[in-house]
Chain A
């Protein structure tokens, strides 16, 4: 056997290889360009611009002026309302996240066990998610109107003196929570898919080992759907951090002064109980012309969202790894 070796000509092949590599890079970039353009225009640019505006005094209509950390100082020490708004949003993050995930999982678990009429029940439970947020909120404020709404009317017939719901600072956020739970059909469908995806053999094996329904749910179902639960929690946290439309509409309608949003002078009724962080951000940026300060709030919101998500993912990964090691 003879082997022939090609003569290499370093002076000619290296540039050719380099040209090929460059062409390949260009091809890759060309294929990626739709994403690169989209990412740059709709994520990188707004993010960098927001970061820049957060250090400026900017009224939307005149060129921004650099003010250093003034907006951050005002946010931390000067604005009493932002603390209320942040506390409201934090309340929603904690309560809404837990209840939304538990409620969606609970409804999905019930539907997963149904033998008849699954399609109908699933559709009925999902339908509220299709309602536009403004329309859904208007309907809820009507239903929960303390004087004329049917909810308190029903409670009265049962001998219960219903709360003032959206008109009471203590009940406004729980009322918003009920509204959100009513419309969490999307998460419920995702949970349902995850529950139906749990291998039946695992349940059977656990049952043979003597595990009851609660034991099977705790030791089989939950670990199997952990990634979907994580998604649900992260999704709910981001949803709560961005809670805006329902809070704004419910506050305006409950105050009895529903106006065009652009004309509304007062938000957060009652007593700023429905004033969320994004709602105050919007008010500052678009009604008070403090876009620089609004950008500061947006940066803080972004950092918190990122922090929450990263923390959760790290903890869940830690938990999964520990389980795998065990």
Chain B
């Protein structure tokens, strides 16, 4: 009897200790109360900056951070590279967050904002009377979630059409396509087959999930929206999605699914010297402005052009739209020196010199109007297309969601099934997809 009661007491103590540990682990990192003041000129402060950058890109960032330190000698910066969103989230959870966090994606913003993991910057902006209108409108939009501004934009990625100018010239094509019908037509004209029937050069690769072909990159060009006004998934109710998928299937059927799988299997990595467009294996593709940097580095002899990506035949007014995403920067919950961190965030996101230097170094689009039009921005003819696109108020980012990129994965899974002929009824399939996306989203709801 005595030993049993001891066991019971031991278990009770273990359970209590566990509950205490669980409770402690769940509440690490408290929210700061209101905007923190900037450190005085004589107050020496060290702040940490976490970003996903490595190697050359980290050097670019560090040079700009040195510029900030020169202006604020009392603020020393410790820059930590190779820190993706997972690591930053873990640091916030562990109660040891960086003072400034830089994320390469906008897609996790919904979670960062709704959980309070990244602080609301609204009070800082208000206190320092920062004019948000200096920032391009779409960048303002994708850095806020449900009215809460918990991040600022730090450069953007804009997607457009790349085409092989030599292939165009050989085929007697003088203009890039503007509609999906034109894209289909040119894709067929530019495609070359081997004697055995396999694909030698694809005019346009219609495989979703390959290279930069993803539903989120294509959707803006059909005017397809991810969610309705109530925040519910709208792939089954917005007819633009069906139009997009049907257009895609027509092109897939032109090539033949098996041939496309065989062809894509042999292509090089997207972000390498072996990229299929750089190697002349694809004549037209959708990609971001950063590709110009890759081409400069790995295929300087390639003659190519850029243009806005074509749009649905019935929606010519969309021409000039495109998918946009970007790097975002914020102050995590529990940051030790939030006041100094804000000074850096404001500098990096509103100082024209800093943005131009970063933009040139990283080959990304600056996010303020002044920096965008600054003559020091290195602009080739091809790169200018993306700068012009970014000025277009029609650019469309992917909507942030509390469960991050879960809906993108669901849509891509569906796309793979559709293009390989596993979906019979497109409408019913898309409605099922809606239910799946909404159910997954509700999982995070309390």
Contacts and interface: CB of A to CB of B under 8 A. Distances in A.
Contacts of A48: 14-15, 18, 22
B360 interface: no
Contacts of B105: 263
A288 B22 contact: no
A52 B21 CA distance: 12
B243 interface: no
B264 A167 contact: yes
A60 B26 CA distance: 7
A267 B93 CA distance: 25
Contact of A61 (B89, B403, B443): B89
Given A52-B22, A289-B115, 17 more contacts: A48-B22, A57-B445, A58-B26, A59-B402, A61-B333, A62-B26, A253-B269, A256-B210, A263-B104, A263-B105, A265-B405, A268-B413, A288-B403, A288-B405, A288-B440, A290-B443, A290-B444
A310 interface: no
A226 B92 CA distance: 49
B266 A148 contact: yes
Contact of A63 (B26, B209, B269, B412): B26
Interface stretch (B79-87, B229-237, B244-252): B79-87
Interface stretch (A78-86, A184-192, A193-201): A78-86
Given A147-B265, A164-B262, A261 B209 contact: no
Interface string A28-47: 00000000000010001100
A235 interface: no
B443 A57 contact: yes
Q: Is the interface of A mostly helix, strand, loop or mixed?
A: loop
Contact of A262 (B25, B85, B408, B417): B85
Given A44-B18, A147-B265, A267 B209 contact: no
Interface stretch (A64-72, A238-246, A300-308): A64-72
Name the 6 nearest CB pairs between A and B, nearest first.
A147-B266, A262-B84, A61-B115, A167-B265, A262-B86, A146-B265
B409 interface: yes
B266 to A, nearest CB: 2
Interface string B93-132: 1000000000011010001100111000000000000000
A70 B440 CA distance: 12
A266 B408 contact: yes
B412 to A, nearest CB: 5
Interface of A: 40, 44-45, 48-49, 52-53, 57-65, 67, 70-71, 74, 78-81, 145-148, 164, 167-168, 253-263, 265-272, 283, 286-290, 292-293
B26 A265 contact: no
Given A59-B444, A164-B261, A167-B261, A269 B403 contact: no
A63 B266 contact: no
A35 B180 CA distance: 67
Given A67-B446, A80-B436, A272 B403 contact: no
B403 A263 contact: no
Contact of B264 (A59, A62, A256, A265): A256
B171 interface: no
